[in-house]
């Protein structure tokens, strides 16, 4: 007896969500139906794919090997169906997008008008979270993440890179002086992040050649809050180009340590789970973002 697509979908969903109950909810099935489907697949393959404990499910060695083939088959099916769907209809329905507040405000929001003109039947839901969210738990279709990716279960599409710079407002510099040496930062108000602490690593070297790690005078979880504080002349900040380009061009924020600044860039990716019902909406939105922004670093955008 041959394996069915429904069985592959159930197996992949259980792995992705971590439990049969969550997989059943994701697939719109009952827990018992999902459990029977998974058992039927193991019977056909005559092997155990998942070890069931009271707390969680774990892939066996055979399960991990079969999962790779299952994902490849499901991806090919999604692609084939998506190509057929694109021939007969325009994308429609609700598309839930998540991004940190600065990226949402400075990158996504300006692109909404053009996207809505091209795809008026897609209903956008834009949500901002400063931390990493679970896409399934938050019912999110596509998220934009900045920095290194850790979740290997997600599909990622590179959007671009964005350089980080040390900045201050002209008003702050006029009142407190312009630091020209890295060690002079100790005498200034420094604006930094509450978490993760790695965001307080600035692209500068100290006298020992180590990357400068600052202790914030004022700390916030939000880059947008830190930008507002810097614009208000409350201190020196280190932020990504995608959120400060307009400020730099208008002279509201001035880059410091031009010669000493290291070329440190944050990668930006669109991440999502493959899902036949939503792939068209995801694809057209990510394509629109890439099409408008291109793949250039954000410091080169015009």
What would the pLDDT profile of 63-79 be if each residue is shown by its tens digit?
A: 889 989 988 888 888 88
Q: Which residues pair with 238 in a beta bridge?
A: 166
State whether 198 and 171 are in the same domain: yes
State whether 148 and 227 are in the same domain: no
State whether 166 and 220 are in the same domain: yes
Q: What is the CATH number of the domain that holds 120?
A: 3.40.190.10
Length of the chain: 302
State whether 257 and 168 are in the same domain: yes
**Tell me: the pLDDT tens digits for 222-265?**
999 999 999 999 999 999 999 999 999 999 999 999 999 999 99
Query: Could you list the residue range(s) of the whole structural domain that residue 82 is in?
Result: 5-87
Please tell me the pTM assigned to this model: 0.65
Q: Where are the alpha helices (DSSP H) in 120-261?
A: 170-176, 223-231, 241-250
State whether 25 and 12 are in the same domain: yes
Q: What is the CATH number of the domain that holds 45?
A: 1.10.10.10
Domain count, the chain: 3
Give the model's pLDDT for residue 157. Answer: 87
Other CB atoms within 10 A of residue 39 CB? 12
**Tell me: the pLDDT tens digits for 160-177?**
889 999 999 999 999 999
State whether 112 and 72 are in the same domain: no
Among 241, 191, 249, 180, which residue's Cα sits nearest to residue 215? Answer: 191
| % of the chain at pLDDT higher than 70 | 88
């Amino acid at each position: 007896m041959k394996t069915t697509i429904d069985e592959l979908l159930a197996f992949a969903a259980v792995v992705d969500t971590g439990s049969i109950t969550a997989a059943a909810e994701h697939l719109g099935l009952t827990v018992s139906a999902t459990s029977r489907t998974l058992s039927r697949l193991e019977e056909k393959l005559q092997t155990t794919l998942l070890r069931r404990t009271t707390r969680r499910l774990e892939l066996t060695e055979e399960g991990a090997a079969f999962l790779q083939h299952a994902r490849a088959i499901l991806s090919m099916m999604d692609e084939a169906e998506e190509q057929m769907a694109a021939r007969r209809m325009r994308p429609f329905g609700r598309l839930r997008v998540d991004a940190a507040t600065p990226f949402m405000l400075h990158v996504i929001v300006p692109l909404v008008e053009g996207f809505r003109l091209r795809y008026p039947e897609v209903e956008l839901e834009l949500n901002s979270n400063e931390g990493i969210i679970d896409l399934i738990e938050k019912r999110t279709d596509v998220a934009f993440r900045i920095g290194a990716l850790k979740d290997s279960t997600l599909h990622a599409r590179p959007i671009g890179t964005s350089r980080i710079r040390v900045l201050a407002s002209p008003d702050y510099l006029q009142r407190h002086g312009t630091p020209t040496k890295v060690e002079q930062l100790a005498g200034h108000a420094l604006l930094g992040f509450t978490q993760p602490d790695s965001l307080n690593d600035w692209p500068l070297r100290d006298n020992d050649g180590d990357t400068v790690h600052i202790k914030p005078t004022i700390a916030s979880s939000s880059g947008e809050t830190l930008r507002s504080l810097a614009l208000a002349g409350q201190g020196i900040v280190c932020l990504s180009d995608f959120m400060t380009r307009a400020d730099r061009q208008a002279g509201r924020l001035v880059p410091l340590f031009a010669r000493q600044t290291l070329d440190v860039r944050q990668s930006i990716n669109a991440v999502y789970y493959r899902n036949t019902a939503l792939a068209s909406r995801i694809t057209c939105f990510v394509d629109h973002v890439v099409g408008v922004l291109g793949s250039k670093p954000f410091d080169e955008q015009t």
